[in-house]
Amino acid sequence: MQTKETQLSTNIFAAFLVWYFGRASLFIVHIWANFLLGNLHYFSIWLLLKTLISPWHKYKTSYGRGFDFKRFMEAWSFNMVARVIGFIIRGTTIIIGLTVEVFIFCAGFLFLAFWMSAPLVLAAAFFYGFLLLI
């Protein structure tokens, strides 16, 4: 009993080419996209961008009741230092995450280019080797 896929292509070489350049290449692109999305989720880029200027670990000092200039300046300066520390750490994490994202993108592109050109390179190397024998 033949399946629909084998009925369409009885030539195994044609079936291989359809699989290699069609289904397998799309699957590689799908895996590549999953790596890119997984990296964004691993580094929580969107959450870090939303909370970029939030205080580090939500460290906050209350201003207290009433107005005391010294207490106000202490609380304000502590809150600003906590925000600057949060900005530096979150910004560094975002930069590292985006750098890894660029690396994954380039590696995926190179792998896909290698995948698409491998049969041609293999065939060319085979024929070149055959010509060397002659």
DSSP the chain: ---HHHHH---HHHHHHHIIIIIHHHHHHHHHHHHHHHHHHHHTHHHHHHTTTSPGGG------SS--HHHHHHHHHHHHHHHHHHHHHHHHHHHHHHHHHHHHHHHHHHHHHHHHHHHHHHHHHHHHHHHHH-
**Tens digit of pLDDT at every position of the chain (134 positions):** 455 655 555 688 888 888 999 999 999 999 999 999 999 999 999 999 998 888 877 767 776 777 778 888 888 888 888 889 989 999 999 999 999 999 999 999 999 999 999 999 999 999 999 999 88
